[in-house]
Every structure is written in C-alpha cells, then in structure tokens.
Structure 1
Amino acid sequence: MTDFDLQRIALPTGVDLDVAVAGDPAHPPVILLHGFPESHRTWRDVIPDLARDHFVLAPDQRGFARSSKPAGVENYTPDKPVADLIALADHFGIDRFTLVGHDWGGAIAWMAALQQPARVARLVIVNAPHPFVFQKSLFDDPAQRAASQYITAFRNPEIEAYIDRIGVAAFFETTFARHADAAKMGADERAIYIDQWSQPGAMTAMLNWYRASAVQVPAMDATPERPAFLDGPFPPVTQPTLVIWGLGDIALLPVQLEGLDALVPDLTVTKVEAGHFVPWENAPAVVAAMRDWGV
C-alpha cells in the first residue's frame, strides 16, 4: 500500500482539508480531485508517476475522509468545492495549474474550468460527465436516466438511518463493492474506505454532494418540464481538455461523450478498459493517456 505525505491545510473558505502533497514545488503543478465515495487514495497509483516531474496536490475534499464536514446541505453546492480548489492553489502560491478530476471531482473540474479560466490551464476529466451533456441525457436518453436513479436514492433523507441499521461495512458490500473491481482494490484499501466512511458525519457529508446538486433526475415514468438551458447556447470550455473514459462504467454511459466536441473545442478523448473507478482500476492507462497528451 502506497502512503502519502498528508498535510492538514486550513483554507479561508472555512474548511480544513487533508491534502496529499508529492513532487517538487518547482515543477509544473497538477491538482487531482477525487469523487464519491473516495478520497485522495483514488489516485494512489497515479500520484507516484506524476510526482516525478510535477508538483502534485490531491485533497480529500470537504465532507470526505477526515477533512472538515460542515453541517447543512448548502455547504456542498458545487461552488463551495470550487472555492476550496482555488483557495488551495492560492495556499501553495500556484497561479495556473493542470486540473484532473474523476466522478464528482470531475464535476468540480468542469465547473472550475468554465468559471476560472485564468487559473485552470489544462483539464483532464476521468469518467465525469459534462454538466450540459449529463442533464440533457437524463431527459433524452432512457438508459442513462435508468442508470442514474441511484442519485434519487442517495438524496433520500432516510438513507443514513438505513446505513446505521445495516452498518457501514454492509453498505460498502451492497453498493460500492458491486460497482468496483474488488480484486484490484485489495483488503487494505477496503479497510481504508470503511474507516473513512465511519468518521463522524462522513456519510451525511458525502451524500450532501448529491442533495446540493441542481441536476434533475426524472423518475422513469415522469415527463417534467425540460430545463430551459438545454435548448440554448452553453459556454464552451476553452482549455485544452483530455477526457479519459472507462467503457465499462455502468453508472455513466458512453452517451456522455456524444456532442462533447461541440462544447469543448480543444478535445482529446481516450477510451480505456475499466469500470467507473478508472484511476485505480486501470491506473497505467490513465497515466499513459495523460503522458501521451503531454502532462
């Protein structure tokens, strides 16, 4: 098991984050953002390679592991972790950086690229849907709508009581473990996940990312009013962007790649053999794609 130098960093956004720090600060900076329900360890097999010639930061985002868990759904709207990201870069005196995000970390990376183009120099997305494409697919693609019904379950205010009844370990086996390659995870990592999920307030904080999101997930038999922004212009992502996509992802389907080139003019797409948790299910492919692209 690879261990990392974790630094506890207090940010002016009001949270303290544990941040894996690797590499020489004089080298080009790369910031890695994990998704649900993980931590900096999402990148455990990616960080060592990048750290050879980059300064690497991989925070445990707010609500996860032992980072701060502010109470209230309103503290997990996407603008909050975007602000954490910029504050983290400021803390290390980093102006422009390459931003890499997976899952929810990718959602934050898309938003940061759109809202902070002066700070995000290049963008790498790993199995995280573009906000426009994702919302459109939830209205127009029945398969993606069906695959995303878990989001409604995660927003259910009673889910924490259910987890308390069955225990964190059982919840791990009945949810996460079914969507990941357990053989590549290993017993040590399983223990780390359960420890992180068991931290006081962690489960609610992680689920609050879903509750705070404005994404609409219609029920399968519903015909809600279509969001107006889906039928108007959407701002382009101006940064050079690499999208790495694990084709075995059963939560985020390949429809997420359709029409992406119109929204991201400088786009490279690399498809790899992996499920949703690409950064550790196929870390060599992620590293190779990033290196081939010029990271």
Structure 2
Amino acid sequence: MADFELRQITLPTGVTLNVAIAGDPAAPPVLLLHGFPESHRTWRHQIPALARDHFVIAPDQRGFGHSARPEGVANYTPDKPVADLLALADHFGLAPFTLAGHDWGGAIAWMAALQNPQRIARLIIVNAPHPLVFQRSLFDDPAQREASQYITAFRNPDFEQFLARIGLENFFDTTFAKHADPALLAPEKPAYLAEWSQPGAMTAMLNWYRASIIQVPAPGDMPERPPWLDAPFPPLGQPTLVIWGMQDSALLPVQLDGLDALVPDLTMVRIADAGHFVPWQKPDAVTEAMRDWLAARNG
C-alpha cells in the first residue's frame, strides 16, 4: 500500500499537476518541491514520516513527472511554478504553511518565500542555493563556475538531439548517476526512465534552465558584472532550515558562505557523507533534521 495518495489537480494557472498527498488535512501543512530531473518521488522517504503529524503536499512540478508539460520556454520562467505552488495552497485552503524545496524546487522556494512572507511561515531548503549567493559565486568562484557549465549544455537547443543519439538510459548512467549513489539509484531507474520517456518530457524539464535569468559565464570569461550583485539584498524574514549534502559536486559548499547575513533566522545542518540528492541518499538524516526543526518551531 502506498504511503500517500496521488491526485491530478487542475489549477487556475492553466496546468494540471500530479500531486502526492498524505496526512490529516487538519494538521500543520508542509508543501514539498522537488528539482531536476525528478518528481514528488524525491521526497518518498520524508512524506510518510512527516505525515505522522503534518498534512503533506508534494506535487510533480510543471514539466516533470506526470504533471502537465506546456510547450515553450516562456511557460517555465520561475514566476510560473511560484504561481502554481500558491494556487495549490489555495486549492487546499492552506493558512500560512511550511515550504520545503530541493534543487530547482529550492530555487522556487527561495523566490516564493522572499515574495510572499504572508503566505509562507517557514522555509526548508535542501541543496538549493540562495539566488544572490549563487549568482555571485558564478562570477567570483572559478570552481563553482566550472561545476555549473552543465547549465550551459542544458540550455543548448540541440541538447535533445544529443539525448536522442545517446539514449535516455545512457544519459541516466553517465550524467545523472554520477551525482548520486548508483546502488541507491538502481531500483529507481525504471521509474525515472518511464517519466523521462513521455513525449516532450525532457524538453519541458530542460526548459527550466532555458527560462532562468541566471548568468553562467564560461570559464575564463570576464563578462560585465550585474550591479545587483553588490547592492543591498532584502533579508529573508522567515525561520529557515538549510540542509546541505557536503559532497555535492554541482553546488559546492561556497553556496553556504555569507548565507547567515541574508537569512537572519537560519539553522544549518551539514551532512558530510552525502551529495546533491541527499533526501534519498541520507533519508533518515534529512527526515530527522526536518522533524526536529519543525517541532522546535511549532511548525
């Protein structure tokens, strides 16, 4: 028996999302956002644990999993998934809620929390960089710039042709799996390939990168520095838990530098023996950190 229910929910933003739901709707709400190249299954270990005393909502974000895949890069600018998550909260009549995000889900969570402090009471971030820290690091830290060159590759309009040549299974083995524990990934591989092989699925997922305004200079380039990188940036007002797998080879530990100045009410949990996909690489550590922090915050 599944630990959660799956529903197809049509939102006023024009998309239908596949949404995992668990727990008592009267319990404190927690909304979980996954990243690339996953789905609600990112949180498969956390959903049942959190549902013991929370109402848990974990959508496949637009373009991912079994949610709608609208055509065109413009449908994946960050304001669109932010609107989706707020519409999803409205659908369930949520009062201020806890928002958690990993990878791209974390990027959307940072943006949503900064823009909607009246809606989002607490924030949990898992291996997802603050927008200012990330963009600064792409200009100032050569190692992070080098590690982020995959973004430029994903933005290439010919990338789908490359995938067609090598095959999705080869992409899984050579690109995705190198950032995670192959032994943990092996039993999950069929589910990933089934999601990715749906018509238009890879293009929809890649369009998240193509729609982003983040600049990724090539190694050695000296582009003009955006003025906002050195201007005052609004602090995040919500209590925030940041969980970080310290062996992440795509988002380096530099992403934690200076974060306390931008997030005054910050709790940091570093997991030394995990990489980027820490929610399922070290699920017990992530779940314990989330539950302990929420309990301490009456969340």
Give the TM-score category using the shorter length: over 0.9
Query: Following the alignment from structure 1 to structure 2, what is the Cα–Cα distance between the partners of residues 69 and 147?
Result: 28
Query: Following the alignment from structure 2 to structure 1, what is the Cα–Cα distance between the partners of residues 241 and 206?
Result: 28
Question: Aligned residue for 2:252?
Answer: 253
Query: Following the alignment from structure 1 to structure 2, what is the Cα–Cα distance between the partners of residues 292 and 52?
Result: 13
Identity, % of aligned pairs? 72
Query: Following the alignment from structure 2 to structure 1, what is the Cα–Cα distance between the partners of residues 179 and 38?
Result: 13
Q: What pairs up with 1:132-211 in 2 under 5 angstroms?
A: 132-187=132-187, 189-211=188-210
SS at match of 2:49: helix
Question: Aligned residue for 1:80?
Answer: 80
Provide, for residues 205-243 of structure 1, a one-character-per-residue CA deviation record: whole Å limited to 9, x for no partner: 000000000000000021000011001000111000000
Q: Is there any run of 5+ residues in structure 1 with no aligned partner, and where? A: none
In the superposition, the TM-score normalised over structure 1's length comes to 0.98
RMSD between superposed Cα atoms in Å: 1.0
User: What letter matches 2:214 in structure 1?
Assistant: V
Contact 1:22 1:55 in 2 (8 A): yes
Question: Aligned residue for 1:111?
Answer: 111
Contact 1:248 1:274 in 2 (8 A): yes
Query: Following the alignment from structure 2 to structure 1, what is the Cα–Cα distance between the partners of residues 270 and 3?
Result: 29
Tell me by how many angstroms 1:290 deviates: 1.2
Tell me by how many angstroms 1:192 deviates: 0.3
Query: Following the alignment from structure 1 to structure 2, what is the Cα–Cα distance between the partners of residues 291 and 61?
Result: 24
Tell me how many residue pairs correspond in the alignment.
Answer: 294
Query: Following the alignment from structure 1 to structure 2, what is the Cα–Cα distance between the partners of residues 113 and 185?
Result: 31
Question: Aligned residue for 2:93?
Answer: 93
Tell me by how many angstroms 1:95 deviates: 2.1
Query: Following the alignment from structure 1 to structure 2, what is the Cα–Cα distance between the partners of residues 45 and 128?
Result: 19
Provide, for residues 126-171 of structure 1, a one-character-per-residue CA deviation record: whole Å limited to 9, x for no partner: 0000000000000000010010000000001001011112211111
Contact 1:2 1:44 in 2 (8 A): no
Tell me by how many angstroms 1:3 deviates: 5.5
Query: Following the alignment from structure 1 to structure 2, what is the Cα–Cα distance between the partners of residues 4 and 213?
Result: 32
Query: Following the alignment from structure 1 to structure 2, what is the Cα–Cα distance between the partners of residues 226 and 159?
Result: 28
Query: Following the alignment from structure 1 to structure 2, what is the Cα–Cα distance between the partners of residues 204 and 185?
Result: 22
Contact 1:237 1:264 in 2 (8 A): yes
Tell me by how many angstroms 1:173 deviates: 0.9
Contact 1:137 1:255 in 2 (8 A): yes
SS at match of 2:37: coil
User: What letter matches 1:102 in structure 2?
Assistant: H
Tell me by how many angstroms 1:2 deviates: 5.3
Contact 2:3 2:22 in 1 (8 A): no
Question: Aligned residue for 1:234?
Answer: 233
In the superposition, the TM-score normalised over structure 2's length comes to 0.97
Off by >3 Å, runs of 4+ in structure 1: 1-4
Query: Following the alignment from structure 2 to structure 1, what is the Cα–Cα distance between the partners of residues 58 and 71?
Result: 23
